[in-house]
Amino acid sequence: QVQLQESGPGLVKPSQTLALTCTVSGGAIASGSFYWSWIRQPAGKGLEWIGRVYTSGSTNYNPSFKGRVTISVDTSKNQFSLKLRSVTAADTAVFYCARETRDGTPNSFDIWGQGTMVTVSS
């Protein structure tokens, strides 16, 4: 059974780079027809898709992040990562990693991590 687990600092200073890693267990990240996505949820707000990576390294990002985001994959470690640059307090949120299906049916996020809280504060 595939499981995802987010890890990374819980506190980041304004203007710095937020960096998180998602470790995939119970299956190879490079197998199957999946994208690997990051999603966040600010306190009291809804879910926001940040972007995704395929095992080839190709990416798609939400334009609302205005070029601040990079998502990468390391198949040797069975991990994928998020970097969000120039953070402000508005980036404080719970960050989730999720597996996104791409098997010809409408895409969906079928497996999620439990989420990790990241606070942006000096």
Partner 1 sequence: DIQMTQSPSSLSASVGDSVTITCRASQSISGYLNWYQHKPGRAPKLLISAASSLQSGVPSRFSGSGSGTDFTLTISGLQPEDFATFYCQQSYTTPWTFGQGTKVEIK
Q: Which of 67, 73, 79 is nearest to 27 (CA)?
A: 79
CB of 9 to partner 1, least distance (A): 20
**DSSP result, 51-80:** EEE-TTS-EEE-GGGTT-EEEEEETTTTEE
Closest distance between partner 1 and the C-beta of residue 25, in Å? 14
For 53, the token pair is: 């990576």
Q: Which of 15, 25, 31, 114 binds partner 1 (CB under 8 A)?
A: 114
Work out how close the CB of 27 gets to partner 1 at its nearest, in angstroms, rounded to a whole number. Answer: 16
| Number of residues this chain uses to bind partner 1 (CB under 8 A) | 24
Q: Kindly report the number of other CB atoms within 10 A of residue 13's CB atom.
A: 12
User: Least distance from C-beta 76 to partner 1, angstroms?
Assistant: 25
Q: What angle do CA 8, 67, 122 make, to 5 degrees?
A: 45
Please give the residues from 34 up to 93 whose contact with partner 1 meets the rule CB under 8 A: 45-49, 60, 62-64
Count CA atoms within 13 Å of residue 79 on its CB side: 14
Candidates 38, 80, 95, 96; binder of partner 1 (CB under 8 A) is 96
Does the protein bind partner 1 through residue 106 (CB under 8 A)?
Answer: yes
Q: Which residues bind partner 1 (CB under 8 A)?
A: 4, 45-49, 60, 62-64, 96, 98, 101, 105-115
